[in-house]
Structure 1
Amino acid sequence: MYAILDIETTGGKYNEEGITEIAIHKFDGHNTIDQFISLVNPERDIQPFVVKLTGINSNMLKNAPKFYEVAKRIVEITEDCIIVAHNAEFDYRILRTEFKRLGFPYKRKTLCTVELSQQLMPEQESYSLGKLTRALGIPVSDRHRANGDAMATVKLFKLLLNKDSDKHIITDSVKVHVATKMNDNHIQIIEDLPAITGVYYLHDEEAQIIYIGKSKNIKHRVNQHLTNTSSKSKKLQLLVKSVSYEATGSELVALLKESEEIKRIKPKFNRALKRKRFTHGLYSFTDEDGYLNLRYEKILPQKTYITTFANWQSAKSFMDKMLEKYTLCQKLTGLSSTKSNCFNYTIKNCNGACLQEESAIDYNKRVQEFIDHNSYSDRNMAIVDQGRAIDERSVIYIKDGVFKGLGFTELNYQINNSSVLENIISPMENNRDTQHIIQSYLRKHSRVKIISIPTLN
């Protein structure tokens, strides 16, 4: 649990500042579940430059509560939370100073979004909240007011959580959770989980991730882990002390994240995961008569494939459907070994390419259309799918035919603006697994939106 906050002060010298406004958003890693926003009477003068910057003046604060009047609420909303702020050292110091004046030893674990941004986005020119949010396309209202800056920090932190592929942030949070919830049983763990699409992480008593999985219903899938009687499940049940998760909205995002994070984190109970997600590939070649031929066969490292399949049966099933859709020839797709015409020619579902009655130019146009539709080679595009909320979309970014990463957006211009798009995505490795996952998903979900991006910087 996190307490994401921003504080406006009088701007006095070190140890002399007073709080003029505070905003705290209690954030569970997915949504804001509580918030506290208030002006505060600092009982001291406000520096003129601060008045100009924030618009907060002494007249506005005459009837505002003093710090001791809001202190209890601050303690309650931040209890068992990690404090998150942009330049957390400053905000945390201000809070501790105010509580010290009341004789209360206020202590919390902190996370700084400036430091996290520097670690996870080292290419940024500036890490000030204003410039960073502009570069990332994060909308900010009421800049230099506590709630406006706190809400921008919430959005920034959500993006940083997505970019944290090593899951250091989640692990640190779970350490705090496990320390206070050590006696929770598995029933309570399951009750606290949502029935949503995403990636889940099983943690041991030291908060280490011991298993990663994905599901369209996280609650149901984790329940299976914690109630199953298989030997692997029984071993997991002895070790699992906490479960964290990351909502993705899109099954495609969940598949890609699961694949990458298992490779990166290497949880000990994922070692039995099949290394090869696919066995067969679809290839093309031009025969001596100038016709484009298609063949599906076992993956060969030295050959470039159009798309891949989990097994021989799925490859054949796919090609059978494509024959009808694109009026392809059974002989030229390797589905018939006849030396004369194919069977489809007999029933008028083939235009006669097998007998050279249809010209190679006409036939090849349809084959090329099929290839272009099922391969993103050399393409610049964004695959837009469901997001984690109704007003959000997930984005899979392909640049020059290479999978670059994924992210989430609420604004269309963030997708169409290539520089912003490259900032909001979390970079991920392009490999055969990711290519197979993306192409297989697109074959099964024809309604997924694909946006061509003509100019990429």
Structure 2
Amino acid sequence: MDFGTWPRLLVVDVEGNGAVPPDLVEVAAIPIAAGRPVPEDARCTLIRPPRPITPFAARIHHITSHVVQAAPSWEEVAPDVHAHLQGAWIAAHNARVDYDALRRHLPRWEPAGVVDTLRLARATYPDASKYSLDALLAYTNVPLAGISGQRHRAGYDAHATALLLLDLARHYDTWDALIAVAIPPGMPGFPPQRHEEQTLW
């Protein structure tokens, strides 16, 4: 894989407050450049949601309403998040969840394309027994020691997903071969369907 052919790519992760639909309480994006995550250029911010964080959500990501009490509101951070994501490809594990949450909060934003590491892993590792992020990190033995933070926080999960994506990318010769498998149908970047020309013979 020639990583020099990759477009600008940000691996993203979001955490919500447990409401339906969820309000965002944390957003992270880490770039991949020259075949490696670039944590020094990562963006991660806590957000004070308009509705309280549910106990169930807090048990998963350990972000409570008290933790985000002094955090900015979404309206305060949205312009910066939009500007940072604009024009980039994004990648995420089970990417439709993150994409849908971001699109709901940024209705005028559209990424250049969406890479789903869940979809990619199912095609790349058909013998894996499970395809959760934790299961795939264990299956691939991706090294996690250098990641700061903790699992289920946006910054950590985005970095871990970036490492998983790079592991998966080793199985593909080109960027085009990778995205042919990794983009869910109907998502940005999905190649248009080719219809055979109808003729009389």
TM-score (norm 2): 0.76
Once residues 58 and 165 of structure 1 are traced to their aligned partners in structure 2, the CA distance between those partners, rounded to angstroms, is 46
Secondary structure in 2 matching 1:58: coil
User: Aligned pairs, how many?
Assistant: 166
2:110 corresponds in structure 1 to 107
| Residues 1:57 and 2:61 are matched in the alignment | no
2:172 and 2:178 in contact (8 A); partners too: yes
2:142 and 2:167 in contact (8 A); partners too: no
Q: CA deviation at 1:8?
A: 0.6
Match runs of 1:7-26 below 5 Å: 7-13=14-20, 16-26=21-31
1:23 and 1:146 in contact (8 A); partners too: yes
| Residues 1:5 and 2:12 are matched in the alignment | yes
Once residues 79 and 169 of structure 1 are traced to their aligned partners in structure 2, the CA distance between those partners, rounded to angstroms, is 22
Q: CA deviation at 1:49?
A: 1.0
Once residues 18 and 165 of structure 2 are traced to their aligned partners in structure 1, the CA distance between those partners, rounded to angstroms, is 26
2:86 and 2:109 in contact (8 A); partners too: no
Secondary structure in 1 matching 2:42: strand
1:277 corresponds in structure 2 to none
Secondary structure in 2 matching 1:163: coil
Q: CA deviation at 1:115?
A: 0.1
The structure that has the greater radius of gyration is: 1
Residue identity matched to 1:27:
I
| Residues 1:31 and 2:39 are matched in the alignment | no
Q: CA deviation at 1:166?
A: 5.5
Q: In proportion to residue count, which structure has more strand?
A: 1
Q: CA deviation at 1:76?
A: 2.4
Secondary structure in 2 matching 1:56: coil
Say which of 162, 165, 172 aligns to 1:157.
165
Q: CA deviation at 1:55?
A: 0.8
Q: CA deviation at 1:43?
A: 1.4
Q: CA deviation at 1:48?
A: 1.0
Once residues 20 and 8 of structure 1 are traced to their aligned partners in structure 2, the CA distance between those partners, rounded to angstroms, is 6
Say which of 129, 135, 140 aligns to 1:136.
140
Unaligned runs of at least 5 residues, structure 1: 173-457
Task: After the TM superposition, list the runs of 4 or more consecutive aligned residues in structure 1 that deviate by more than 4 angstroms.
Answer: none
Secondary structure in 1 matching 2:122: helix
1:96 corresponds in structure 2 to 103
Q: CA deviation at 1:29?
A: 5.0
Residue identity matched to 2:43:
F
| Cα-to-partner distance string for 1:306-332 (whole Å, 9 max, x where unaligned) | xxxxxxxxxxxxxxxxxxxxxxxxxxx
Once residues 109 and 150 of structure 2 are traced to their aligned partners in structure 1, the CA distance between those partners, rounded to angstroms, is 29
1:20 and 1:42 in contact (8 A); partners too: yes
Match runs of 1:38-49 below 5 Å: 38-49=45-56
Unaligned runs of at least 5 residues, structure 2: 1-7, 182-201
TM-score (norm 1): 0.35
Tell me: higher relative CO, structure 1 or 2? Use CA pairs within 8 A at least 6 residues apart. 2
| Cα-to-partner distance string for 1:358-401 (whole Å, 9 max, x where unaligned) | xxxxxxxxxxxxxxxxxxxxxxxxxxxxxxxxxxxxxxxxxxxx
2:192 corresponds in structure 1 to none
| Cα-to-partner distance string for 1:158-185 (whole Å, 9 max, x where unaligned) | 111111236413789xxxxxxxxxxxxx
Percent identity reads 28
Once residues 121 and 80 of structure 1 are traced to their aligned partners in structure 2, the CA distance between those partners, rounded to angstroms, is 30
Tell me: CA distance 1:22–1:95, structure 2 relative to 1, closer, same or farther (3 Å): same
2:115 and 2:179 in contact (8 A); partners too: no
Q: CA deviation at 1:72?
A: 2.2
Tell me: CA distance 1:139–1:49, structure 2 relative to 1, closer, same or farther (3 Å): farther
